[in-house]
Amino acid sequence: MSVGVIYFLCFAGGLCYAIFVGVAGHLFGGDAGDAHMDVGTDLPLSPLSPTIIATFLTGFDGGGMLANSYFELSVGKGALVAIMTGVLLSGGTYLALFVLFRETQAGSEFSVEDMIGRTVQIITPIPEGGTGEIALEAKGTRINGPARSVDGKAIPRNAAVTIVKVVGTVYYVREIVNDDAGVRNVQPR
């Protein structure tokens, strides 16, 4: 049996494996029971996932067939080319999927406590002892929320304020005022 036939059989086996995994994942939901492999990431992707294994087999077989048939390399050099092609192709696929999953899982959720100390803008004036509204940007999303002055004073529209605390859904803010030199200072507590 020639090396080319071995690479072709590996290619056929990898193709059958990819088809089987695709069909089985579709029919059975891809549940592997209690099997688990921790690879140090919160992403739903493993270097030993069926997608990465099938990609390695395809790269290995394709690289091996090219090295053997087209470049007519020796068996040892052809096997080295096959392994390198498989590793590069599957590694590139893993990296691309890793980046894709990481970006899509970076949601727009934010912690309200992270907003404390941020400078935001009043969009609805806060009357003395009353409630107005602020606009802030968190994780690329503009958010409006109810706001009250921490000292109970009125704050006009478009004023810059600092979030001091959050109680429930209400932001307690302190106005930032400019002194005569144009330097912005936070009002004293």
In 3D space, the residue among 169, 144, 150 whose CA is nearest the CA of residue 161 turns out to be 150
Residues 6+ apart with CB under 8 A from 56: 86, 87, 89, 90
More confident residue, 157 or 40: 157
Q: What is the pLDDT of residue 40?
A: 46
Q: What is the pLDDT of residue 107?
A: 59
Instruction: Answer for the pair 59, 88: CB distance below 8 angstroms, yes or no.
Output: yes
Q: What is the pLDDT of residue 108?
A: 58
pLDDT of residue 65 exceeding 60, the answer is: yes
pLDDT tens-digit map of 76-106: 999 999 999 999 999 999 999 888 877 666 5
pLDDT-derived band at 109, boundaries 50, 70, 90: low
Q: What is the pLDDT of residue 106?
A: 56
Distance CA 122, CA 133 (A): 6
C-alpha distances out from residue 7 to 42, 54, 60, Å: 35, 14, 8
pLDDT tens-digit map of 166-187: 998 899 999 998 765 554 555 5
* Percentage of residues of the chain with pLDDT beyond 90: 37
Instruction: Answer for the pair 90, 55: CB distance below 8 angstroms, yes or no.
Output: yes
CATH class of domain segment(s) 112-186: mainly beta
Domain boundaries, the chain: 3-105, 112-186
Instruction: Answer for the pair 92, 121: CB distance below 8 angstroms, yes or no.
Output: no
Residue 13: both structure tokens together: 């086996």
